[in-house]
Amino acid sequence: MATKKKKIDLLKQLALKFCVWFCVLLVALEGCFALGIISSSPSKALMSLFGANAINENSEFLLFLDVGQGDCTIIKSKNATAIIDFGLTDEDDTIYRKMLELGIDRVDLAVITHHHNDHFGGFNNLIQNIKIDNLLINKSSAPDSQQQELNRLLQVANQSKVNIIEPKIGTCFNIGDAKLKVLYTDLSANKENNRSIITMLYMGGKKILLTGDAESTVEKHISQTIDIDCDILKVGHHGSYTSTTERLLNAATPTVAIVSVGYDNIYKHPSDWALLRLKYAGVNLYRTDLDGDIYIKFSSNNTFSVIRG
């Protein structure tokens, strides 16, 4: 009986040790994931895009990332990467986790279209984990509520030895085989939205117009003075009624439009007016609040496909 009892006690001790070590292992794995040591597995959208091999250095795509009520666009062409805007303060590391999934550990060009937190808020989080070489940004004063955060962003960028570039109309940046051109920006505008850096992306034989949060007055100006004809439109100001005017749509003639917007947001974006204008223009609309991440895959025959994440 004594021997049997000793065996039972020994088994209990072994079982206890196993449980302790198992818990330690789980904690360690969780910590590794948080640090980015363990990358997340490819999503269904990525599998649809690139198959079982996921992404390699020759991959070329455009991603409108679901960051809630904010903007974040990732451009990947060959071995180069650019990001336009960084969403709100990214406490959940949404952008960094997506970069891990995409196999991206360096950003050649970052663009912050204007000084509102839903466009630059996630920059400081990302730069702690990802090397950023160049930052295109208007360094002029921000709205009072955003000035302190902008100062901190510029300080972090300088500390990280990021090359800060101020936009000039007509400047082009090569991103692998793609090209990003600055179409317009106006630092004299009274409203911060209308100071947005407006760009045209040339990629896969197509043109993608990105207008930041520019409103109707700016849309009127660029529609009358600049060639903004495009295939894909990144809808301005999250689909606010102040943007995506009939004049802009007539000049741009997009076949596809993307709205980056948070689900059930307090601003009621996208507005019914903007949605109606897009509908009457015959534009195929995709929304991050309903579709999640939105990928554009370019083909060698100058066509593209839209894949919802």
Q: What is the model's pLDDT at position 6?
A: 46
Which residue's structure tokens are 């800060």?
A: 164
- The conformational region for residue 253 under phi > 0 = left, psi -120 to 50 = alpha, else beta, is left
Please give the pLDDT value at position 145.
72
Cα 294 to Cα 98: distance, rounded to the nearest angstrom = 13
Longest Cα pair distance anywhere in the chain, in angstroms? 97
Report the C-alpha gap between 300 and 271 in whole angstroms: 36
Q: CA 100 to CA 160: how far, in whole Å?
A: 20
* CB crowding 171-206: b at 16 or more within 10 Å, else e: eebebbebebebbbbbeebeebbbbbbbbbbbbbeb
Q: Which residues contact 243 (CB under 8 A, 6 or more apart)?
A: 211, 213, 214, 215, 216, 219, 235, 236, 237, 274
Instruction: Report pLDDT digits (tens) over 175-209.
Output: 999 999 999 999 889 899 999 999 999 999 999 99
Q: Across the strands, what pairs with 234? A: 210, 258
Contact 1, 9 (CB under 8 A): no
pLDDT of residue 172: 98
Give CA separation, 109 vs 26, 51, 210, 219, 278, in Å.
37, 27, 15, 25, 30
H or E element: which one contains 277? helix 272-280
The SS3 assignment for 73 reads strand
- Amino acid in position 181: K
The b-or-e profile of 27-53 (16+ CB within 10 A means b, else e) is eeeeeeeeebeeeeebbebbeebbeee
pLDDT for the residue numbered 157: 96
Would you state the pLDDT for residue 83?
98
Domain 59-308: give its CATH superfamily: Ribonuclease Z/Hydroxyacylglutathione hydrolase-like (3.60.15.10)
What is this structure's pTM?
0.83
Q: What are the residue boundaries of the structural domains of the chain, listed by start?
A: 59-308
pLDDT value for 5 = 47
Per-residue pLDDT of the chain (309 residues; tens, 9 = 90+): 545 444 445 555 555 555 545 444 443 444 333 333 323 455 666 666 666 555 566 678 999 999 999 999 999 998 899 999 999 876 678 999 999 999 899 999 999 999 998 899 899 999 999 999 999 999 876 677 778 888 899 999 999 999 999 999 999 999 999 999 999 999 889 899 999 999 999 999 999 999 999 999 999 999 999 999 999 999 999 999 999 999 999 999 999 999 999 998 899 999 999 999 999 999 999 999 999 999 999 988 889 999 998
- Angle at 207 (CA atoms; ends 225, 47), nearest 5 degrees: 155
d(CA 62, CA 76): 6
| Whole-number Å distance between alpha carbons of 286 and 290 | 8
For the four alpha carbons of 28, 30, 32 and 37, in that order, the dihedral sign comes to positive
Preceding amide of 254 cis, omega within 30:
no
Per-residue pLDDT, 271: 93
pLDDT score, position 28: 40
Give the dihedral of Cα atoms 93, 99, 102, 105; nearest 10 deg: -140
